[in-house]
Structures are given as C-alpha cells and as structure tokens.
Chains A and B, each alone.
Chain A
Amino acid sequence: MFKKVFIILTVVLLATFGFAKEKIVFWNFMMDEDTASLILDKFEEKNPDIEVEFVQLSWANGFDKIVTAFAAGTAPDVLELGNTWVANFANEGVLTDLSIYKNVRDDIVGWNQVQFNGKYWGFPWLLGTRAMYYNIDLFMQAGLDPENPPKTWSEVLEAAKKIDALGSDVYGMGMAIGEPYSPWQEWFLPAVWGNNGDIMTKNLKTATLNSPEAIEAAQFYKDLSKYALKTKMNDLQAAFGQGKLGMLVTGANVISDTASSYPETNFYVSFVPKPDKGGFSASFAGGEVLTVPKQSKHKEAALRLVKYLVEADVAMDITKRVPVIFPSNSKAAEDPWFEDHPLEQIFLEQNATAVPASPHPKFEDIQSLVSTAVEEIVLDNADIKKTLDKYNTRIQIILDETKW
C-alpha cells in the first residue's frame, strides 16, 4: 500500500515539475494590457515552456518603481528602459552585458542607444524620434511652397521670418522652454549634432559645449528664436493645432493629436533641416530598449522573449496600435502599413539619422545645464560665447568628478 502511494506521488510530482512552465516577469511601459496580451499570447504559444507575467509601468512612477525593485532585489527578468537611463543602470552594474548580439543582429538599428563603456546592455526595441511639422496653409499664405519644405538652416530662417510676418498671433516656429528636457531635446542639441558637434567628446571625458560647431548651432537657434513662440511643449503643440505656428520640431504623437483635436488644420511632416554646408539632418533619438537585469534567474528564457519582441512583425503590432514609436528592426520598413501612413513613414526614415544623448551616467545633471544655457540664450538674450563657455566649464566639472 505504502509503495503504491509513493509511486503515485512520485509520478504526480514528476508530471507537475517536469512540465512546469518557467515563469518570467516582464516590466514594460509601451504596451497596454490589450496589446500585451495579443503579443505575449503568441509568444507563449510558440514557447509552451515559458509563462510571462506582464506588468505595465506608468511614466509617472515607473522609474521609481524600477529603482526600488533593484534595491530590494526583486527586479524583473525582462525590463524595458528609456534609452537615456541605460548608462545610469549599466554604470551601477545591474544589467546583463548583451554585447555578443550586437554583431550578429545587423538587422537591428539603434545599437548606439544601448552602448555604454564600450559594451551593449540591451536590445534597441522601439524608436521614437522627432521630425519637423509644418502648416500647409500658413506656408501658402506666406508665399512658400508646401511641396518643398525647408531643408537647410537658412531656408528655415527665411520661412520662419515670412510666416512670422503674417500677424501678431502667428509665429514662424515653436521653441520649447521652461521644462526639464524639451529645451535641448526638441532642437537645440540635435542642431549641434547635425553640425557634427556634441556636448562632450566620444570618450565622455571632455566637455565641448563651446566648440565652434556648438557656437554656430547656438547662433542659428538664437536667430530662429526671433520668429518663435517660446513656451512649454504642450502649449506649442496646441498652438500648432490652432494654426498659429508655421513649423514645429516634435514627436510623432502630434500627428494623431492634431488630426483628432484640430481636424481643420492642414499640415505635413518633413525631415529636420540640416546646416547649409556639411552636416546632416540630426534629430533626437528617443528609444525604448529591452534589458535583462543581472538579478534575473531565468536569463535564457528572458532572452528568448527579448528576441521575439524585436522581430519586425511583433514590433509592428505595437506601432500599429501606438503609432508614435517604430520598430528597431529594419525589416519593418517593408510593412504595407506605411503606404497608408506617409507621415509616420517619414518618422521611421528620420530614425536612421537620429542621435541618442551621450551615454554618460551623470547625463541627468548635464542635460539640465544645457537646458539652462538654451533658455539664457533664447529668452534672456545672453551672449552666446560667454554662456556656452560658462556651462561648458560646469559640465567639465561633472565629467571630471564622475567615478567610473
């Protein structure tokens, strides 16, 4: 009798544990419950041995939640991070080094978004960049050709000047100020990048905010500010919708926001203008990346999920529902969806020349200095050289003090 029970128990135990699914936890910002269940159900079908527990984080408190989870040792197995956070977490040594995938996955773009200290700490997943919106009606009123939007800095200045002259309630350009990130993000720093400059050298040791390239970009930005409405990004997007702005450099969410809130506004999108000579059409690369925390005990299963999520058709399923971010997988460009979404396609193409912020662990401190410099130049009319010198020195102090 006892033997029988023992045998049955052993069989039952083997059955449950032998076929037990490996459970992994996935924290993400971008997908809501609906999208996630669509995508993760398919994954579980293909990988019957893995069960995914999905948690959606909010932008309002997700970051704090991640930090506390790491501190408590309860980090998830797969974690979505904003690209500007990667250096910070990588520097603390809490992420798994995924450099080996960089060379084998040349179908994925945006690897520079997960690079820190010569290593790659995640997979680029969904990329969101900025492009230039313009108001077709205002272009026509100002005698500009809406088929041929400005492509260079001097063309933008010229167009902004003409549109600004249309009336006291109409502005040539929208310029974000008074916020933590948008003053440098939405165009100032990309203009510096486009002019082949940056705020620090590639080795992250020397500040270069007062380089000739940066000074030139700042001069252009200051000239442009004369024809610009300068306020918070939300106000600018509303003003663009109300037909008060000729041009605005911002993210892809404005396509659907404007179309639904201000259907009478006639607009189109083009690449961010580049310097007159040399340079390129740089824009800010925002991006969502997938990382595997070191604390994870299911790294193999976690990587399988990561590789699945970066597949072109999987990522496209997210883009189709949230058309503000686009797959890092270059095969996604072949998706017929883009034929019906020409504005989104411009954003997808802009991704190719988008630049992420310098992967410095103290970037949070540095970027606020850049915002301040931008505001002093465009709002207080401060001297460009002196201002950039001043903030360059302060950035240099941060770079010197950083412990690696």
Chain B
Amino acid sequence: MLSKTKKRWSIFLFLSPWIISFLVFELYPLIFSVYISFTEYSGLNPQKIFVGFSNYIQAFSDEVFLIALRNTFIFVILTIPFTIGIALILAILLNNKNLPGRNFFKAGFFLPSVISMVVISMMWLYLYSADGLFIKLGTMMGFDLPARSFLASPDSALMSIMFMDVWAAFGYYVIFIFAGLQNIPEALYEAARIDGASSWKIATKVTLPMIKPTLFFVISINTIRSFQIFSEIYTMTGGGPRNSTQTMVHYLYEVSFKKFQLGYGSAISYILFIIIMIFTIIQKRALRSDY
C-alpha cells in the first residue's frame, strides 16, 4: 500500500517540471488576463480600476478593432480554402506510388515550414518591394506598374500577405493529409473496384470519408493559426498602410504594448478566443468528426 502511494507521488515528482511551468507560465497568466480584461490597467502602473464589461463594449465601437476584425475574417476565409485545397491536391498526387521523386517533392513542399516566419517575411518584403522580383517580372511582361512596394498600397497589402501565407503554409498540411491518405487500407479500394465503383465514387465514398478526421484536424489547426496571424504583419507592414493589414492579434499587441491599455488588449484577446472557439465547434459539427 505504502509503495503504491509512493509510486503515485513519484509520478507527480517526474511531472512536476511541467506542472510548475504550466501553473506559472500558463495558468496564472490566463487567469490574470481574464481579471485585467475587466479593468483599466496600463501595465506600467500597478493601479487597476475595475470597469466591468466596458472594455468588451468599447471594442465593438472601436473603428480600428472592427477593421482588424474584418481583415482577420477576410484573411481566414480567403486563405484556408486555398491552403487546404492546394495541400489536398498535392497530397493526392504524392500518394500515387508511380510518381518519380516522391521524397524530393515531399521535402520540397515541407521546406517553407522549417523556415521561421520572420525570415520568410523578410524575403517576401524584398520580393514585393519597388525594386523586387514581382515588379520586375510584371514590367518585363509589359504591365504598367507603378514603382511602389505591393505592401505600400492599401489595395494590395493584405492580398500580398495572404498570397505569401498560402505559399508558406500549404506544405505543412500536405504532410498531414498525405499521412492520412497512407492510412487508408488498400483493401477498401480493391473492394470498391471489384464492386465496379467509378474513380469519382471511390474518391467521394472511400477516400474523403476516410481522411475526414485528418481534414478536420488540418482545417481547425489552420483556422486557429490564421486567426492568430501576427509575425507576418509585425515584420512586413506593422498593420498599415492605413490599417489595411491590421489584424486582431496585431491590434491587441499595439493596444497593449504601444498604447499601454493592457486591460483593453486582454479583452480583445478573449473576444478572439470566443470567435475561434465558435469556429472550431462549427467546423466540428460540419465535418461530423468524432475527433
């Protein structure tokens, strides 16, 4: 009996590094930020004034917040279909055993995912610049483009970042979907073929249902990551020009650390949390996944 208790405690002992760091660096900030989201708190000054829900109410009459909300939704809604669509098509192509150089493609697609987002951003900052590759290519093809960075104009800045993001993200999901495809037993396809199913039928009735859990996983991960877009914006545009690339996480950073409104910033982060939660629940329902 004694040894059993001892054993139990020794498990906790081994888990304690994680438990301690979780309590100090995750649970405590989490609870603290809920608390300060109901206060007016500058971060510099220890004084916290309780203001109830007014930070949350303020957000929905704050013009810049609404722009950030809209941009974030545009970003999420327009990038996810492309990222996942491209990833799905490429994964199906990779799944073909007769494809020569399969490993080369797998590694190549995945490559952008191992590079830090800041490095990718710096690279594309140059590609999009007035002196960069895209303007040069465009001029060579005879388009009359103004010598202006794609990121300097409010009409093109957000689209440019979205394009870059699709490029940088799809490879990561190719690998997940590919792994999902590999898990489908060959016997299912054989059985379907024997029963005379067309390739369309096989794709919709065998492949898709079988990779649904994987698809749910990649779509929800991608949704969360897209809602939280920050480093691209921070490195490339700082939310500008004229807030055209302002997103929720970038705005909450600005509010908290440049304007010293940590209470308001925390409230924005909880609004984002609720939005992401709703989206994830909807996706889970829509894909009727048990995962």
Contact = CB atoms under 8 A, between A and B. Distances in A.
Interface in B229-262: 237-243, 257-260, 262
Contacts of A48: none
Interface string A163-195: 000000000000001111000000000000000
Interface in B31-70: 42-46
A231 B241 contact: no
A179 to B, nearest CB: 6
B241 A229 contact: no
A71 B44 contact: yes
The interface centre, meaning the residue of A70, A89, A178, A364 with most chain B CB atoms within 10 A of its CB, is A178
Interface residues of A, number: 32
A73 to B, nearest CB: 8
B147 interface: yes
Contact of B129 (A64, A89, A234): A234
A238 B131 contact: yes
B151 interface: yes
Contacts of A178: 148-149, 151-153, 157, 237, 240-241
A230 B238 contact: no
A288 interface: no
A212 interface: no
What interface size band does chain B fall in? 20 to 34
**Chain B interface, >50% SS class:** loop
Nearest to A235: B130
A179 B43 contact: no
B44 A232 contact: no
A257 to B, nearest CB: 14
Contacts of A371: 240-242
Nearest to B125: A234
A180 B44 contact: no
A190 to B, nearest CB: 20
A375 interface: yes
Given A178-B157, A231-B152, A67 B260 contact: yes
Interface in B108-153: 129-131, 146-149, 151-153
Contacts of B237: 178-179
Interface in B68-107: none
Given A67-B257, A232-B129, A232-B130, A92 B44 contact: yes
Contacts of B148: 178, 229-231, 235
Interface in A368-384: 368, 371-372, 375, 379
Contacts of A235: 129-131, 147-149, 152
A400 interface: no
A232 B260 contact: no
B129 A364 contact: no
A119 B37 CA distance: 33
Closest 6 A/B residue pairs (Cβ): A178-B152, A235-B130, A92-B44, A178-B241, A231-B148, A231-B130
Interface of A: 63-64, 67-68, 70-71, 88-89, 92-94, 177-180, 229-232, 234-235, 238-239, 242, 362, 364-365, 368, 371-372, 375, 379
6 contacts: A67-B44, A235-B152, A364-B259, A371-B240, A371-B241, A375-B154
Given A94-B45, A375-B154, 19 more contacts: A64-B257, A67-B44, A67-B257, A68-B43, A70-B43, A88-B260, A178-B148, A178-B149, A179-B237, A180-B240, A229-B130, A231-B147, A231-B149, A235-B148, A242-B131, A364-B258, A365-B259, A368-B243, A372-B242
